[in-house]
């Protein structure tokens, strides 16, 4: 099966290529048209993932996958959550992570990454979403250059290093993205 990932984030495409089974070939939607940037008006990861998939699929009239994801910090009521990318827009991730360190002073550091993976086929109108999470905590210091976004300050449960150090070899096994897309691919494998 050939699918296009409706994203403007090249790191998501790279990670999906690690995760995808042989029977799925994933290319970025930017192969077909540029500037994919629909307004994310949903209030959950699933809603925003569906917006991206349906907007992208209807535009290119081909099978599309979408990923809406983010970091949720439990003591900050799930912040930055669905706003993970838009929070402090225009600033570097180092600045964003340092701002979060300040917010967390004296607070519990438990956090999780969530990812909503969506499949949309505009020819059949079939729409399927699956959410995955990885639980862990926010580190005391920023460490590592692997991955992207908030990876350098997130330590997954069962490990003592950040995703920024652990990199794709670990992310492809346990990340929110791996869990979401593996769940979605298991469903697709049964019905397609």
- Residue set of the binding site for Mg(2+): 39, 68
Cα–Cα distance measured from residue 186 to residue 143, given in angstroms and rounded to the nearest whole number: 34
- Report whether 104 contacts 52 (CB < 8 A): no
- Report whether 179 contacts 45 (CB < 8 A): no
Cβ neighbours of 113 (radius 10 Å): 26
Reference 147, options 124, 178, 117; nearest CA is: 178
Which one of 17-25, 63-71, 120-128, 180-188 is the stretch in contact with ligand ITT (CB under 6 A)? 63-71
Which one of 64-72, 104-112, 135-143, 178-186 is the stretch in contact with ligand ITT (CB under 6 A)? 64-72
Applying CB under 6 A, among 64, 72, 119, 177 the residue interacting with ligand ITT is: 177
Q: Which is nearer to ligand ITT, 1 or 40 (CB)?
A: 40
Direct distance between the N- and C-terminal alpha carbons of the chain, in angstroms, rounded to an integer: 9
| Residue 68 is among the residues annotated as catalytic for this protein | yes
Cα distances (angstroms) measured from residue 15 to each of 59, 75, 78, 139, 150:
24, 28, 24, 22, 15
- Asked if 156 touches ligand ITT (CB under 6 A), the answer is no
Which one of 3-11, 19-27, 99-107, 135-143 is the stretch in contact with ligand ITT (CB under 6 A)? 3-11
Cα three-residue angle 94-20-126, rounded to 5 degrees: 105
- Asked if 67 touches ligand ITT (CB under 6 A), the answer is yes
x-marked contacts with ligand ITT along 22-51 as a string, rule CB under 6 A: ------------------x-----------
Q: Which residue's Cβ has the minimum distance to ligand ITT?
A: 149
- Report whether 50 contacts 158 (CB < 8 A): no
x-marked contacts with ligand ITT along 111-150 as a string, rule CB under 6 A: --x---------------------------------xxxx
Residues in the site for ligand ITT, rule: CB under 6 A?
Answer: 7-9, 12, 40, 67-71, 84-85, 113, 147-151, 175, 177
Which positions are annotated as active-site residues? Answer: 68
């Amino acid at each position: 099966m050939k699918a296009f990932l409706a994203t403007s984030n090249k790191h998501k495409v790279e990670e999906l290529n690690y995760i995808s089974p042989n029977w799925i070939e994933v290319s970025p939607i930017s192969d077909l048209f540029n500037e994919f940037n629909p307004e994310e008006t949903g209030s959950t990861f699933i809603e925003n993932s569906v917006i991206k998939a349906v907007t992208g699929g209807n535009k290119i009239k081909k099978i599309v996958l979408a990923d809406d994801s983010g970091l949720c910090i439990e003591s900050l009521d799930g912040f930055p959550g669905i706003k993970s990318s838009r929070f402090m827009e225009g600033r570097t991730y180092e600045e964003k992570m340092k701002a979060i360190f300040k917010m967390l002073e004296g607070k519990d550091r438990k956090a999780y990454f969530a990812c909503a993976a969506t499949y949309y086929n505009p020819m059949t109108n079939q729409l399927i979403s699956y959410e995955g999470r990885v639980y862990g905590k926010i580190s005391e210091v920023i460490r590592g250059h692997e991955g992207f976004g908030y990876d350098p300050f997130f330590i997954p449960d069962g490990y003592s290093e950040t995703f920024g150090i652990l990199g794709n070899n670990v992310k492809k096994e346990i990340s929110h993205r791996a869990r979401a897309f593996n769940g979605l691919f298991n469903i697709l494998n049964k019905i397609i």
